[in-house]
Amino acid sequence: MSELAELPSGWAWTTLTEISENLDRLRVPLSAAERAKRPGSVPYYGATGQVGTIDAEIFNEDLVLLGEDGVQFFDPSKTKAYRISGPAWVNNHAHVLRATNATTNSFLHYYLNTFNFEGYANGTTRLKLTKSAANSIPFPLPPLAEQHRIVEALEEQLSRLDEASSLLSTSARRASAFRLRLNRYSETATMTNAYALPPSPADVDDVDLPKIPNNWRWGRLEEIADVVGGITKDAKKQSDPALTEVPYLRVANVQAGHLKLDVVTKIRATEKQIKKLLLQPGDVLLNEGGDRDKLGRGWIWEGAIDNCIHQNHVFRIRVRENAVLPELIAWHANSYGRKWFERNGKQSVNLASVSLRVMKKFPIPIPPVQEQDDLVTLVSEQLDGASRLVNNIEGLVTRNGRLRERILASAFAGTLVDQNPADEPASILLERIAAERAAAKPAVRRRTSVKAKV
């Protein structure tokens, strides 16, 4: 334990193995198939919490589980340790810890969720915290009486944060739902019965068209825009240096109401392909394939990346002669269009898709040209306001999480509650426990037979 921080008076550095008992020998690793043979109501736990139920018990007490493997060790927002109580089984993906007389399960649980596991959890393909590494984790031990005061203060302050987080989450969901409703731009006008839509093939379902104002009309996408599919990735061509490498948009980049451009991959293509598929500001991008509920989602290309094209699972819609503003097409596709695409898409084993032929038949409400600018301005202002509300709430959620981290850090630095000079120092507590361990005969606890429990 080198380079450990200086502790307050009365505290002492020790290790996890000195203040807790490891019960890993009693874990029962069972596959999903094995668990299915033992249906029941007793919780079965793993690295990240409850993973099922089973019909027998190994543990029946208050314990702390510490994940043995996974990516959660280096993510401050992820839970590393959690409490269990009552009848339970635990698999071999979580270390089972029982606090000794030196500390409490509550204090142990809080500390492990603040600990930096760098240097303790290791692995090439998946992080793993071995039993020996877990046992060697340094532990800042306050006097026992102070531990109780720290836990009491933590539970009071964290419960308030949890309540605030719950309210913020509810507000965020409502704000997001409000923003989604605003996407239905046609609801900004007085509705009447929809006008007749130009005929479509027998296999295209146009039922439940929304109502539109009297002076609007229905058209099909092919009537007002050129619709093209994108480039298909050819593994052989990707190693051809004669081809030009350009950025291209995938389904993951095309979201409902925005484009996600933090990760944009590149592809090699011929000059003819690039010329044909080169995106221009104002192009509407709608997804062709993926999960069924994601068909047709999309937004407008604004030229954020030079020489960018799109893949074959993303359709590009380029409006002809300013027939309809791109925003109106995108908003309509993200509202009524989602149901239309689900109804008219084709489902394969793993993916759903909309063909180019069907996409061209997508019904579009067309307002008079003189109304379109005012309509876009009105809806954009409302969407901007809703987006600011969502962003403000997300900022509060982030600050709430940081405040939680500061409170926990303060607890284990000895600054959350006052020290009491009358408390028994942790060093004396450790000496007494060590003497008790040395004097006690080692108790042998045999692993419970699984067969006997079933």
pLDDT per position as a tens digit, 401-416 = 889 889 999 999 999 9
What 3-state DSSP class applies to 82?
strand
Domains delineated in the chain: 12-143+419-453 (3.90.220.20), 210-371 (3.90.220.20)
**Does the pLDDT of residue 433 top 90, yes or no?**
no
Q: What is the pLDDT of residue 1?
A: 46
What average pLDDT is seen over the chain? 85
Of the two residues 349 and 150, the one the predictor is more confident about is 150
Contacts of 160 (CB under 8 A, 6+ apart): none
Q: What is the percent of the chain with per-residue pLDDT over 70, rounded to a whole number? A: 88
The pLDDT of residue 183: 52
pLDDT given at position 188: 43
Q: How many CA atoms lie within 13 A of 130 on its CB side?
A: 6
Model confidence over 152-210: pLDDT tens digits?
Answer: 999 999 998 888 888 777 777 766 665 555 554 444 444 444 446 767 777 788 877 87
φ, ψ of residue 253 to 5 degrees: the values are: -80, -20
pLDDT of residue 185: 47
Residue with the two structure tokens 């340790």: 81
Q: What is the mean pLDDT of residues 371-376?
A: 86
- Average pLDDT value for residue range 223-246: 90
Decide: 64 and 112 in contact? Cβ < 8 Å.
yes
- 24: confidence class by pLDDT, cuts 50, 70, 90: very high
pLDDT tens-place string over residues 277-288: 999 999 999 998
> Could you tell me which residue, 133 or 434, shows the higher pLDDT?
133
The pTM of the full predicted model, rounded to 2 decimals, is 0.59
Does residue 21 contact residue 435 with C-beta atoms inside 8 Å? no
